[in-house]
Amino acid sequence: MNSKFRGTLLGVLIGDCCGAVFEGEVLDAGQKFVLRKFINKLEGVSFTAPRQKYTDDTAMTKSVARCLLKYDEKSYQKNLAVDFVKEYCSSTTSRGYGDGVQRLLVTLRKEKFEDLLGPARNQFNGTGSFGNGAAMRISPVSLYCVNKSDDFLFDLVGKTSEITHANVIGINGAILQALAIREVLKLESDDLDVNNYVTNLLESFKKIEKGEDEFGIHEQKFYTEQLEGMRKLLNKEILPSDEEVVNILGHSVNALYSVPTAIYCFLRNVNLLKGNREKLFRSTLEYAICLGGDTDTIASMACSLVGAFTGDSIIAKNLIKHCESSEEIIELSDKLYEIVFSEIFKKDLHLNDEKMN
C-alpha cells in the first residue's frame, strides 16, 4: 500500500511534467515520434538538462496533501485556500494556472480569505468553473479516504473543490477521479476486472446524478453518459482510433471532457497489457499525451490511476529522478501513508485492548 501511495502521487507529477510540454497541441505522427524520443530521454541515464518542470496540477496537489497532513477537519478548508495562494504567489516560474483560477486566487488574497466560497461561486458570470482543476488535484483525498465511507469522501472532495470550483461539473469531475483512484487502491491483486470497475463507477454516478431535481424536472446525466460512452469504446472489437476517442470523450480543460478520458486511457492500457504490467505506466503516459489537448492534466490523472493500481515499482527510476520535486512528492506520499495507517493501527490496538479487558 505504501508503494501504491507513492505511485499515485508520482503519477500526478510525471504525467504533468511530461504532458505539459505538449499542452494544447494535436499531435500528428511526427509529434508522436518526438514525444516518444522525449520520454525515452527522460528515462535515460544520460539526461543532463534541468529537471522537467511541473505545472499547476502538481502545485495544487502538493497543497492538498500538505493540508490533509497538517490540519483538522475544521481548519482544513481555509488553510487549503491560503496554501493555494501561497503556492501560486511563491512560484518563480509560470505554472500554467487556468485564467479563471488565477483571478480567483488574487481575489481571495486581496479580500483576506473573508468569504472563502463566494469568489468561486461568482466565477464565469455566476455559473462557477467547470474546469478540471478540482479533479486534477484530488488524488491525496483518495489516499486519505482509502478506508473511509463514500459520504466521508464526498464531503472531503467537496471541501477541497469548492474553494475554486462551484459548478457541479467541476465538483463531480473531482468525485469521479477520487472514486476511480480509491477503487484501484483497494484492489489486492494486480487483476482488474475492467467491466466490473466501470459498472461500479456507473452505479455510483447513477446515484449522484439522479436524473431529476427536487421538482421532478429532468436533469442531464452528464458523467453517467460519458461513462456509458467509455464502456462502449472499451468493448469495441477493433481498437478505437485517437480521433474516435477524442470525438466521444473529449480532451479539453472541461472536467466532463477530460476526467472520463483519463480513466479511459488507464483502462484501455490495462486491457492491452494484461500480461505485461511493467509496461503499463510508460504506455499509459505516452497514450494519454498522444490524444492531445489538455495533455498535462489528462496524463497526470491517467498516470495517477496507474500508480494507484501497480505502485511505484514499475515507474522508471530515471523518469522519477528527472521530474522536479520528486523527492518531495515521495515524502508527502509516505507521510500520508503513515497517518492513514497509524490511525487504523491505533484503532486495532484499541480494539485488542478492549478484547483483553
Please report, as ranges, the residues that interact with ligand R7I according to CB under 6 A: 55-57, 96, 98-101, 124, 127, 129-133, 136, 167, 253, 294, 296-297
Could you tell me if 172 and 208 are in contact, meaning their C-beta atoms sit under 8 angstroms apart? yes
Q: C-alpha cell of 20?
A: 505539459
Residue 282, classified by CB atoms within 10 Å of its CB into exposed (0-12), middle (13-18) or buried (19+), is buried
* Partner from ligand R7I, Mg ion, none contacting 312, C-beta within 5 to 8 A by type: none
Q: Check the annotation: does 72 bind a ligand.
A: no
**Start-to-end CA span in the chain (Å):** 32
- Minimum distance from residue 280 beta carbon to ligand R7I (Å): 23
Nearest-angstrom CA–CA distance, 114 and 34: 48
* Partner from Mg ion, ligand R7I, none contacting 127, C-beta within 5 to 8 A by type: ligand R7I
Q: Check the annotation: does 57 bind a ligand.
A: yes
- Minimum distance from residue 2 beta carbon to ligand R7I (Å): 28
Could you tell me if 91 and 324 are in contact, meaning their C-beta atoms sit under 8 angstroms apart? no
Q: Which is nearer to ligand R7I, 57 or 286 (CB)?
A: 57
* Partner from ligand R7I, Mg ion, none contacting 132, C-beta within 5 to 8 A by type: ligand R7I
- Minimum distance from residue 297 beta carbon to Mg ion (Å): 3
Handedness of CA 212, 135, 133, 285 (dihedral sign): negative
Residue 112, classified by CB atoms within 10 Å of its CB into exposed (0-12), middle (13-18) or buried (19+), is exposed
What does the DSSP 8-state code read for residue 93? S
* Partner from Mg ion, ligand R7I, none contacting 290, C-beta within 5 to 8 A by type: none
Pattern 241-280, Mg ion, x by CB under 5 A = ----------------------------------------
* Partner from ligand R7I, Mg ion, none contacting 129, C-beta within 5 to 8 A by type: ligand R7I
Q: Does 183 bind Mg ion (CB under 5 A)?
A: no
Could you tell me if 57 and 96 are in contact, meaning their C-beta atoms sit under 8 angstroms apart? no
- Minimum distance from residue 296 beta carbon to Mg ion (Å): 4
Nearest-angstrom CA–CA distance, 265 and 290: 10
* Partner from ligand R7I, Mg ion, none contacting 130, C-beta within 5 to 8 A by type: ligand R7I
Q: Check the annotation: does 296 bind a ligand.
A: yes
Which of residues 294, 319, 322, 329 is near Mg ion by CB under 5 A?
Answer: 294
- Minimum distance from residue 336 beta carbon to ligand R7I (Å): 22
Question: What residues contact 316, with CB distance under 8 A and at least 6 apart?
Answer: 43, 281, 282
Q: Does 296 bind Mg ion (CB under 5 A)?
A: yes
Which parts of 44-63 interact with Mg ion (CB under 5 A)? 55-57
Nearest-angstrom CA–CA distance, 185 and 333: 13
Question: What residues contact 133, with CB distance under 8 A and at least 6 apart?
Answer: 56, 60, 98, 101, 164, 165, 170
The binding site consists of: 55-57, 294, 296-297
Residues binding Mg ion (CB under 5 A): 55-57, 96, 294, 296-297
The binding site for Mg(2+) consists of: 55-57, 294, 296-297
